[in-house]
Structure 1
């Protein structure tokens, strides 16, 4: 007991900071700053986390020896902090094992892969003083945390401030802004929180949806030594714009044999195929008709639906993720998008920044994106080739090219340069001239307060596309934003 008391006395401040770091968003600046503080002076920023993990591992080993497998030996005042420190260490000890499992499962598809490290994981938890039921739950939670980090980082690369904020937002969408709440109350209830993703064509809405959809909670089954589902099966995507209304209802809700001409057999729709811990991605939600909106609203409200041609009510337990490049505020004003449906969809709203904004904030992000695209295409991304590709693109498009097709256009630009050596860009230009005139007027001091606010609202609206996002960023209400935008036009 004296050894434990000595450790707690000497390391109490360090343990408190580690416990704080464990609950911070890993994509946030505050987490970066705390990691650097924990790593100590003289440690490079890029090596800070590795240094923290090593320091925690050393101190956790001392704790485990002092505890002798019993967390009840920890004084009540320190118990929660020490538990969190031990969990932090356990999570990072099995990080590489979880990453290998994610890669293997991605390649294997819909059949759950065996978890070869499960025995070692359970033994490590037992040694640290945790009960078996806790170990199983943390096995599933750690797998979810690592999948979320893996898919957010891999699918949405870039270092511009707007993209960093977006990655931070995606993490919150999965684990809330307070992971303690998530851990205690919401870890098995996030299916009730639908998500709406907004952004221009080609910005990466699908990648954001995939990161959310593949990172849901999946229980671990100790009898089989596998997780109960594959995350590849847990995420179903449907592009709503590619179906006309009759076929769309069948695709979404399924149909019974004989429900309509040509229905020669039963058909399961995506809501039927969605697993209890899964997610459905409804892309191009702004294109669906009002009758289909009503039926989707019923699914969100009642968590049940009926196949076409049936009165049977089937249960839906998954999460709904929707996306559009349309201006939903305008569609709502025209009566083309129901307000009640919108408010059911927008438990969380994520706006994906356009590529031109990202490059304005950080021009070097172009090279980072080119490197990622080249690696996906060829399996490697040598720095020399990356710079040659970047220079070839910038030589003919110019450094201020607005990238109207966003990241999707950049991917095609890299392909075209690899094939032809050239990419001249699209003739279409983003509406930057008006922005430049506004900034010139600001610099010249030629605007009064009303004109200044109207111009700023217009810039934000061009960038983000919704009254709600402009209102959030300016701290104005929606009607005031609309007034200023009408004034500016």
Structure 2
């Protein structure tokens, strides 16, 4: 007897293609429809969190029930001695992997949302299931990794879906494409290749997240970092790390260059004033499973760019004040709201550093782009944020008040230059003041114009003029050394005169 009928083989093929499909792309819907036929239930083309209704996919339960029946039937035939070709055997193995994932989906969700996210409470049941389904008496066992690795790999898939689906929200196609891009940053576009060869190599790939301020770049970085592969220790019944402990974020624009270097690379005692003891930096603290997130990388000093370039090239670095090479074993994710091509052209960002960052680029869409594609999405975002701001009892009332204010005073075409961050503050303004009056922010023109006006009026002392001019040139170069070279003064003089709080205001 043949191991599978034509209809069974067709269904199994649809399930396997669905297993390796990016769940956030529209192709998933076509594959679900092909697998279920008349049982398929139509749903929204974009699968996302909705604040006003349930978002469970109605087809998942139907697929799981049919997969379970098919897997049971094929196993019974194998036990009874039905011949299986290599292709049929591989097809059965992939069907079983889908079954195992769906069976333990709720267990893994509980693990993700609990404080003990490193405990494999369902491990023993999973091990017995693998033994039952994949080690059939009289049949050559599958050429899979050991069961503990399979457990860790499927848990990674569940974690990735959870962190992308629940944290990168939005019902427009630009946001659907963003979720799909984040999925590919974790697993690549070829899940089979990832499973064969890349699951333990993705730390070598640097991810660069680009997009305007307030579009969720940090959420993207967090989703990627928290979704990396973590081995499972079957002897201890635990994962070797808790995913929430593996992200090390650093905002590069919030600290002076020396402090940035100390935070990243660490320092030896006496390396600079105030270094009273040795300190381990994030690059050294980060394990092979961890991720260092370099936020606002477009603002970092050129001298630090050189050191980071070495980290990306050779995976080595040195503490400040030390000459001992140290190994960086983790992954780098960087983010910026700057136009790096323009920054390179202006000499503020090194081209060779950029070409080490750009192996994997994820672009976050501005809110205006999302609303052009799906105008009704504003109501969903407002209600979602209202739940977060005031809680469930008051969310509907606040959302209605905010929507009314936006509709009456801002209009549907308001561009939201501050993106979702501005929308959230708009809601807080309406909640507190009953209104939101957006301000026009033009600091760059104002600062440069003020410097010119004060200089022509002779209103500045020599020391004030040097300080402001140093700040202006530093805003263009991003480097104390280059600023000193251009002005013909000592680097220490430049460093003492630059007003870091005004640098942004002087940039073009």
Short-chain TM bin: 0.7 to 0.9
Deviations 1:231-282 (A, max 9, x none): 1111111000011111111110001122222211111111011121111110
Taking structure 1 as reference, are residues 122 and 375 closer, same or farther at Cα in structure 2, changes over 3 Å only? farther
- Corresponding residue of 2:28: 31
* 371-380 or 15-24: bigger deviation: 371-380
Alignment equivalent of 2:105, drawn from 90, 95, 98: 95
1:236 is paired with a residue whose SS is strand
Taking structure 1 as reference, are residues 388 and 123 closer, same or farther at Cα in structure 2, changes over 3 Å only? farther
Shift of 1:76: 1.1
- Corresponding residue of 1:289: 301
Query: Where do residues 130-279 of structure 1 align in structure 2 (5 Å cutoff)?
Result: 134-279=146-291
Give distance in 2, aligned partners of 1:394 and 1:292.
46
Shift of 1:384: 6.4
Deviations 1:450-482 (A, max 9, x none): xxxxxxxxxxxxxxxxxxxxxxxxxxxxxxxxx
1:317 is paired with a residue whose SS is coil
2:98 is paired with a residue whose SS is helix
Give distance in 2, aligned partners of 1:331 and 1:321.
19
Query: Where do residues 32-431 of structure 1 align in structure 2 (5 Å cutoff)?
Result: 32-41=29-38, 43-46=40-43, 47-68=58-79, 74-105=84-115, 113-129=118-134, 134-380=146-392, 386-427=399-440
Taking structure 1 as reference, are residues 123 and 287 closer, same or farther at Cα in structure 2, changes over 3 Å only? same
* 169-178 or 6-15: bigger deviation: 6-15
Taking structure 1 as reference, are residues 427 and 337 closer, same or farther at Cα in structure 2, changes over 3 Å only? closer
Give distance in 1, aligned partners of 2:348 and 2:91.
52
Alignment equivalent of 2:19, drawn from 19, 22, 33: 22
1:321 is paired with a residue whose SS is strand
Listed as ranges, the gaps of 5+ residues in structure 2 are 44-57, 136-140, 443-508
1:376 is paired with a residue whose SS is helix
- Corresponding residue of 2:54: none
Alpha carbons 1:283, 1:324 under 8 Å: kept: yes
* 277-286 or 121-130: bigger deviation: 121-130
Whether 1:13 aligns to 2:10 is yes
Query: Where do residues 434-453 of structure 1 align in structure 2 (5 Å cutoff)?
Result: none
Shift of 1:323: 0.6
Alpha carbons 2:302, 2:350 under 8 Å: kept: yes
Give distance in 2, aligned partners of 1:103 and 1:178.
28
Alpha carbons 2:214, 2:419 under 8 Å: kept: yes
Shift of 1:81: 1.5
Give distance in 2, aligned partners of 1:280 and 1:8.
51
Alpha carbons 2:315, 2:327 under 8 Å: kept: yes
* 6-15 or 224-233: bigger deviation: 6-15
1:308 is paired with a residue whose SS is coil
Alpha carbons 1:404, 1:428 under 8 Å: kept: no
2:262 is paired with a residue whose SS is helix
Taking structure 1 as reference, are residues 135 and 68 closer, same or farther at Cα in structure 2, changes over 3 Å only? farther
- Pairs aligned (count): 420
Q: Which runs of 4+ in 1 moved over 6 A?
A: none
Give distance in 1, aligned partners of 2:243 and 2:252.
22
Give distance in 1, aligned partners of 2:100 and 2:182.
24
Listed as ranges, the gaps of 5+ residues in structure 1 are 430-489
1:49 is paired with a residue whose SS is helix
1:197 is paired with a residue whose SS is strand
Give distance in 2, aligned partners of 1:419 and 1:398.
21
Shift of 1:298: 0.4
Deviations 1:100-133 (A, max 9, x none): 111114xx6xxx5322111111111111125795
Taking structure 1 as reference, are residues 425 and 185 closer, same or farther at Cα in structure 2, changes over 3 Å only? same
